[in-house]
Structure 1
Amino acid sequence: MVWWTVGLSVVAVSLATAGAQPPPAAPPPAEPPQAQPQASTPEPAPFCEGEYADSYSALSAQARAFEQSVKKKYTYCVRSTAVYECLSYGAEGNMRRTRTSVSAHGTAFAYRQQAGETLLLTNEHVVEWPDVTSDAQPVDNVPSGCKRVKDGLSIVENEADAYDRDDIPLSKAVVDPQLDLAVIKSKTPLTVLPWKVGRSAGVRERDVVDVRGFPLGVFNATNMGKVISAYDRDEYKEWYHDDFVIDALLSQGSSGSPVLAISCKTGEFELVGVYHAGYSRGSALNVVVGIDQARDLMNNLRRTPKRAEANTPLDALARARMTKRAEVSATPFFPFGSRTAAVFPRADGSLLFALYSQDFPRRVHPLVVLEDLPVASVDEGFGRSGRVWFGGERGLLERKRAEQDAELQQQLARLLDALRRDATLAFSYQDSLPASDESRQTFDTSARLNKTLERTIVAHRDLSDAAAELADRFAPDVTESATRTESVLKNPPAGIHLGLSSEPAGPAPATPPPPRESGVRRPARSTSGEPPARK
């Protein structure tokens, strides 16, 4: 199993306000003396077949001298802070509110000054905190279920800097979770990157790279290494971009560092990527976001469109496919968070989404059943919300909309929308499995759907848990008349509410267990120090 680790890079800040100027163009080489051709032996030219060099000897003398003379660094230590509010109850039942402050440090580098502001590039995981902590998005020293009520960004000297009067405040311009990149800005003029933006597509194996960052958030450092793989597709959690892999020895505290290569044409450095993560089980296996994908973000402050799998439209066509799939399938089940859900078609054209407990299929009574009614026109979308039943061992009980407050109705609307999307995704993945080994294209399609489904399962754990809590509150008790599950799932309404039926309650009929799914599992990637667990 392969795991990811993310280093929150921290870079010492130079508070100088003047921008460094790029080095002057190299003068044309002088003609060797005709009288003494053997007076000096020129050094052999470095091996340099592609766009970038595989030896540091390719760095021109002018560029080398400029790097040594520059005192104003263009990389900065960014401190990201957040305050979380947690609710709890005291011994006497009174509600208590406690607040916890957290901070993280990472690298950013300035690349442009415009409209009186300096733009800097860094990682998304350096500047973002989860809105609410959970098992899927933990924050060190903060319990699950706490809400972020405040956050901030600033440039500091280093991780130990406790004097805040000279900190430089920052704000977010645009954040792209898929690229794990963010553009932040400062109203204070800062030294900017003196080298041009290169092409990550031109990077090849064995090319040398130079990484400028702050290992462990302690000091400004330069790490050198080589490209060991020119391509690595990164689809961990929300990430969806192309990386290349380097062997530079980078510690946590280096996220957001600029990665430079040496141009074979000019002998100067060029920006080819941004370091953002590493393999936790590989001491020198670190991945870099290729800079080609970041041009629109840097130049136009515009994030990339979301991946197609996450944007599957919920329209009439998707509903027709789901209905047909559910009609012909004996096992219309799909994962939803930490539980199992299913969709059942009804004779009147409605769809019934049922969510089961974690004991399913040992216990087959649904916790919640949501009715999705057909719409009159294809322009109206997937469907419209119908009735809702909450269930327990005794059966199902309808809770009428007139009894629901605005907050509960919003929760149920989010739950129904998530069930629709997860069912669509899960069925697409299940349908892709039989043909997944026919070609490379079908294999890759099935693997992408599987990864997206795994991310969705993690993302909907909290929503699944919330639905179970609602079932605990609203399931029928011994004084209420319950309805058999099969009556709700199979029988259209006949002028009366099924939840008020006098049909005797009893255990629900056994439901077929979900099928076992076979498929290819790719190595999972995990982060220690990325948004779920900052370091």
Structure 2
Amino acid sequence: MVWWTVGLSVVAVALATEGAPPPPALSAPAAAPFCEGEYADSYSALSPQARAFEQSVKKKYTYCVRSTAVYECLSYGAEGNVRRSRTPVSAHGTAFAYRQQAGETLLLTNEHVVEWPDVTSDAHPVEGVPSGCKRVKDGLSIVENEADAYDRDDIALSMAVADPQLDLAVLKSKAPLTVLPWKVGRSAALRERDVVDVRGFPLGVFNATNMGKVISAYDRDEYKDWYHDDFVIDALLSQGNSGSPVLAISCKTGEFELVGVYHAGYSRGSALNVVVGIDQARDLMNNLRRTPKRNEGTTPLDALARARVAKRAEVSATPFFPFGSRIAAVFPRADGTLLFALYGQDFPRRVHPLVVLEDLPAGSADGGFGRAGRVWFGGERGLLERPRAEQDAELQQQLARLLDALRRDATLAFSYQDSLPSSDESRQTFDTAARLNKTLERTIVAHRDLSDAAAELADRFAPDVTESATRTESVLKNPPPPGIHLGLTSEPRGGAPAAAPPPRDSGARQPARTPGGEGPSRGR
């Protein structure tokens, strides 16, 4: 079970005039073994100047946010008269200031830290409040900590914009708060084993710094209203840390850069915590504009759709479908796995795949179409698997989009092909086939760029003369030996193979908060 607690151009974030001085200009440190990528995998890469600056800053840029609400509940008395009772609730989380503009300070936090449901229900519970109660009042403020009962020095906050899909919200304060002194980085450049630094208020009790490493550079989050990309870290975090800035160390400057916002963790994984990648929050932070709502009208990629694709691929001698300017195919394997293969523009004169993506059967608790597995890149010499540890977040995002598009296009293409024999039986079947054909034509055009990008990846990662290639037939027919780790995005791990975390069923994730109640359990 998992509880779920921006790219921006790299620009310096101004400090508030009352805050600490800006960090000194730093010369780029010499290249080191722990800085092979854009971010370091050792704290040794942090420059002495940056380390000294952090230690000298007395006014921190992270703040403890108290979110309050009052719910009105209706009930009937013994004589049948309606009774009204009101229940106050509160919760605590973390926010950090990132900009001052127009006389106000903007802060970023999680949407679930500051939002309460309009009406309580089984789907939207509030601890200590019965279902069916209506929210009649709410408030936001900065406090010293959860135990702060003196409200005269609290700093009032107001909502600027909230995005439930990203689980992010921008707050406004008229007070000139100290803002984040470090640049906004690129979460797509993160790799497994990069070190991270998390600043927040665990349990709403005190301002703390936690350290950890990236253990999975990519994780897709589609739980309930959430619809965004995460990465997974092993920092020991708690409720109350929701909304904390996650920093990485730039190999170019030796300084910290903002790469994400912590928002959740695996409740059955002691140190598996997920972070919203900062690349997705550009409009939210800069323009106070939320991302467009995902299209709910598209064909759902669920277990039923997967069963139809698997059956079609099993009985068909030609399991091919168009994908952009190329041809793709889906092959079923005896263990229930589907393999999506994308071919070059010279297919069928040359029949070696450019990319093969493994789609594992979803567990009963996972839901959805399937789980992303291994990936191979191919050329004339054959196929070569590229292990997940070699892939940065940007490559994993590309592969996740490619697999999702292949699933959808196969589902659509097979539905259209199946509609053709009966298309003249009635006006309804004719219209259905025509509609599917138009949708398929639009999809082919829309996926040309994705198809070209996949071909470019194959040029980069196909086996060369020094590498041992695998025959295509072996990949398409033979399952891996027992014990081989299959998950590409679903089971995060470090360097060595590790046990998979718990499945993500309907009870697998909860927002990283427990509103109401007493003591530290109130922290979000």
Is 1:152 equivalent to 2:139 in the alignment?
yes
What CA deviation, in whole Å up to 9, does each residue of 1:176-222 have, x standing for no partner?
00100000110111000000000000100000000001111111110
Given that 1:17 and 1:188 are in contact with CA atoms closer than 8 Å, whether structure 2 keeps it comes out as no
Is 1:176 equivalent to 2:176 in the alignment?
no
Q: Which residue of 1 aligns with 2:509?
A: 526
Q: Which residue of 2 aligns with 1:380?
A: none
Given that 2:163 and 2:169 are in contact with CA atoms closer than 8 Å, whether structure 1 keeps it comes out as yes
Is 1:272 equivalent to 2:259 in the alignment?
yes
SS of the counterpart of 2:157?
A: strand
Is 1:18 equivalent to 2:18 in the alignment?
yes
Structure 2 unmatched ranges of 5 or more: 6-15, 312-329, 331-337, 341-356, 370-501, 517-521
Structure 1 residues 296 and 94 mapped into 2: Cα distance closer, same or farther (>3 Å)? same
Take 1:225 and 1:296, find their aligned partners in 2: how far apart are those partners? 28
Given that 1:433 and 1:446 are in contact with CA atoms closer than 8 Å, whether structure 2 keeps it comes out as no
Q: Which of 54, 62, 72 is the matching residue for 1:85?
A: 72
Given that 1:271 and 1:291 are in contact with CA atoms closer than 8 Å, whether structure 2 keeps it comes out as yes
Q: Which residue of 2 aligns with 1:245?
A: 232
> In structure 2, what residue type is equivalent to 1:248?
A
SS of the counterpart of 1:20?
A: coil
What CA deviation, in whole Å up to 9, does each residue of 1:125-165 have, x standing for no partner?
00000110011111000000000111110000000000001
Q: Which residue of 1 aligns with 2:2?
A: 4
Take 1:530 and 1:220, find their aligned partners in 2: how far apart are those partners? 18
Which of 1 and 2 has higher RCO (CA within 8 Å, sep 6+)?
Answer: 2
Q: Which of 275, 286, 292 is the matching residue for 2:279?
A: 292
1:28 Cα deviation from its structure 2 partner: 8.5
Take 1:433 and 1:20, find their aligned partners in 2: how far apart are those partners? 59
Q: Which residue of 2 aligns with 1:476?
A: none
Is 1:63 equivalent to 2:50 in the alignment?
yes
1:306 Cα deviation from its structure 2 partner: 1.2
Q: Which residue of 1 aligns with 2:190?
A: 203
Given that 1:54 and 1:206 are in contact with CA atoms closer than 8 Å, whether structure 2 keeps it comes out as yes
> In structure 2, what residue type is equivalent to 1:112?
R
SS of the counterpart of 1:433?
A: helix
* TM norm structure 1: 0.58
Q: Percentage identity across aligned positions?
A: 79
Q: Which residue of 1 aligns with 2:309?
A: 435
Given that 1:87 and 1:98 are in contact with CA atoms closer than 8 Å, whether structure 2 keeps it comes out as yes
Given that 2:89 and 2:515 are in contact with CA atoms closer than 8 Å, whether structure 1 keeps it comes out as no
Structure 1 residues 528 and 240 mapped into 2: Cα distance closer, same or farther (>3 Å)? closer
Given that 2:239 and 2:513 are in contact with CA atoms closer than 8 Å, whether structure 1 keeps it comes out as no
Given that 1:137 and 1:531 are in contact with CA atoms closer than 8 Å, whether structure 2 keeps it comes out as no
1:451 Cα deviation from its structure 2 partner: 5.4
1:436 Cα deviation from its structure 2 partner: 4.7
Structure 1 residues 141 and 200 mapped into 2: Cα distance closer, same or farther (>3 Å)? same
What CA deviation, in whole Å up to 9, does each residue of 1:263-306 have, x standing for no partner?
00000000000000000111110000000001111001111111
Q: Which of 134, 149, 172 is the matching residue for 1:185?
A: 172
Is 1:130 equivalent to 2:128 in the alignment?
no
1:65 Cα deviation from its structure 2 partner: 0.7
Given that 2:119 and 2:133 are in contact with CA atoms closer than 8 Å, whether structure 1 keeps it comes out as yes
Is 1:214 equivalent to 2:201 in the alignment?
yes
Structure 1 residues 431 and 233 mapped into 2: Cα distance closer, same or farther (>3 Å)? closer
Q: Which of 242, 259, 266 is the matching residue for 1:255?
A: 242
> In structure 2, what residue type is equivalent to 1:523?
R
Is 1:166 equivalent to 2:153 in the alignment?
yes
> In structure 2, what residue type is equivalent to 1:53?
A
> In structure 2, what residue type is equivalent to 1:433?
A
1:253 Cα deviation from its structure 2 partner: 1.2
> In structure 1, what residue type is equivalent to 2:85?
T
Take 2:150 and 2:28, find their aligned partners in 1: how far apart are those partners? 49
Take 1:276 and 1:158, find their aligned partners in 2: how far apart are those partners? 19
> In structure 1, what residue type is equivalent to 2:203?
L
Structure 1 residues 112 and 311 mapped into 2: Cα distance closer, same or farther (>3 Å)? farther
Provide the alpha-carbon RMSD of the alignment. 3.0
Is 1:224 equivalent to 2:222 in the alignment?
no
* TM norm structure 2: 0.59
Is 1:281 equivalent to 2:155 in the alignment?
no
SS of the counterpart of 1:65?
A: helix
SS of the counterpart of 1:163?
A: coil
1:6 Cα deviation from its structure 2 partner: 4.4
Structure 1 residues 85 and 452 mapped into 2: Cα distance closer, same or farther (>3 Å)? farther
1:99 Cα deviation from its structure 2 partner: 0.4
Q: Which residue of 1 aligns with 2:392?
A: none
SS of the counterpart of 1:264?
A: coil
1:532 Cα deviation from its structure 2 partner: 8.1
Q: Which residue of 1 aligns with 2:62?
A: 75
Is 1:52 equivalent to 2:39 in the alignment?
yes
1:45 Cα deviation from its structure 2 partner: 3.8
Given that 1:47 and 1:55 are in contact with CA atoms closer than 8 Å, whether structure 2 keeps it comes out as yes
Structure 1 residues 443 and 228 mapped into 2: Cα distance closer, same or farther (>3 Å)? closer
Structure 1 residues 272 and 245 mapped into 2: Cα distance closer, same or farther (>3 Å)? same
Given that 2:198 and 2:245 are in contact with CA atoms closer than 8 Å, whether structure 1 keeps it comes out as yes
Given that 2:90 and 2:515 are in contact with CA atoms closer than 8 Å, whether structure 1 keeps it comes out as no
Given that 2:28 and 2:254 are in contact with CA atoms closer than 8 Å, whether structure 1 keeps it comes out as no
> In structure 1, what residue type is equivalent to 2:25?
A
> In structure 2, what residue type is equivalent to 1:222?
T
Q: Which of 94, 100, 103 is the matching residue for 2:90?
A: 103
SS of the counterpart of 1:293?
A: helix
Q: Which runs of 4+ in 1 moved over 6 A?
A: 441-447, 531-534
Given that 1:106 and 1:217 are in contact with CA atoms closer than 8 Å, whether structure 2 keeps it comes out as yes
> In structure 1, what residue type is equivalent to 2:20?
A
SS of the counterpart of 2:50?
A: helix
Take 1:311 and 1:19, find their aligned partners in 2: how far apart are those partners? 48
Given that 1:436 and 1:443 are in contact with CA atoms closer than 8 Å, whether structure 2 keeps it comes out as no
> In structure 2, what residue type is equivalent to 1:156?
V
> In structure 2, what residue type is equivalent to 1:20?
A
Take 2:66 and 2:17, find their aligned partners in 1: how far apart are those partners? 19
Take 2:514 and 2:310, find their aligned partners in 1: how far apart are those partners? 33
Given that 1:6 and 1:252 are in contact with CA atoms closer than 8 Å, whether structure 2 keeps it comes out as no
Take 2:368 and 2:297, find their aligned partners in 1: how far apart are those partners? 11
Structure 1 unmatched ranges of 5 or more: 8-15, 30-42, 313-423, 454-520
Structure 1 residues 197 and 528 mapped into 2: Cα distance closer, same or farther (>3 Å)? closer
Take 2:230 and 2:292, find their aligned partners in 1: how far apart are those partners? 18
Given that 1:46 and 1:58 are in contact with CA atoms closer than 8 Å, whether structure 2 keeps it comes out as no
1:445 Cα deviation from its structure 2 partner: 13
Structure 1 residues 247 and 529 mapped into 2: Cα distance closer, same or farther (>3 Å)? closer
In the alignment of these two chains, the number of paired residues is 332
SS of the counterpart of 1:216?
A: helix
Given that 1:85 and 1:149 are in contact with CA atoms closer than 8 Å, whether structure 2 keeps it comes out as yes
Structure 1 residues 124 and 440 mapped into 2: Cα distance closer, same or farther (>3 Å)? farther
Structure 1 residues 191 and 122 mapped into 2: Cα distance closer, same or farther (>3 Å)? same
